[in-house]
Amino acid sequence: MSDSHSEERDGPHGPKTFEIKIDRTTYKVREPVLTGAQLRTLPKPDIGPDRDLFEVVPGGSDLKIEIDTRVEMRNGLRFFTAPAQINPGQG
């Protein structure tokens, strides 16, 4: 049986691939669960400690992803980064 999308499904050809976005860049991951620390290593260079990572929650409050937060992967997950500390009036 031939299937051009076999890399995206569980089965004899390997694990499912999930497409997620961090700051509008698409990443493909195979792990069903990633920690905040693992998500931070996907972009190159890694997301530094000066930025916080958030999961976009449509219609709700975005979730801050801590280093040890476990996130269940699914297609279409979106994340964004923001400055970890905002200092109004500086600059």
Q: For residues 88 and 16, what is the distance between their CA atoms, to the nearest angstrom? A: 44
Predicted pLDDT of residue 85: 82
- Give the Cα separation of 82 and 91 in Å (integer): 17
φ, ψ of residue 7 in degrees (nearest 5)? -70, -10
Q: What is the structure's pLDDT at 60? A: 95
Question: What are the residue ranges spanned by the domains of the chain?
Answer: 29-84
Q: What pLDDT digit, counting tens, does each position of 41-86 carry?
A: 999 999 999 999 999 999 999 999 999 999 999 999 999 999 998 6
Reported confidence tier of residue 12, pLDDT bands at 50, 70, 90:
low
b/e per residue 23-56 (b: at least 16 CB within 10 A): eeeeeebeeeebbbeebbebeeeebeeebbbbbe
Asked whether the predicted pLDDT for residue 18 surpasses 70, the reply is yes
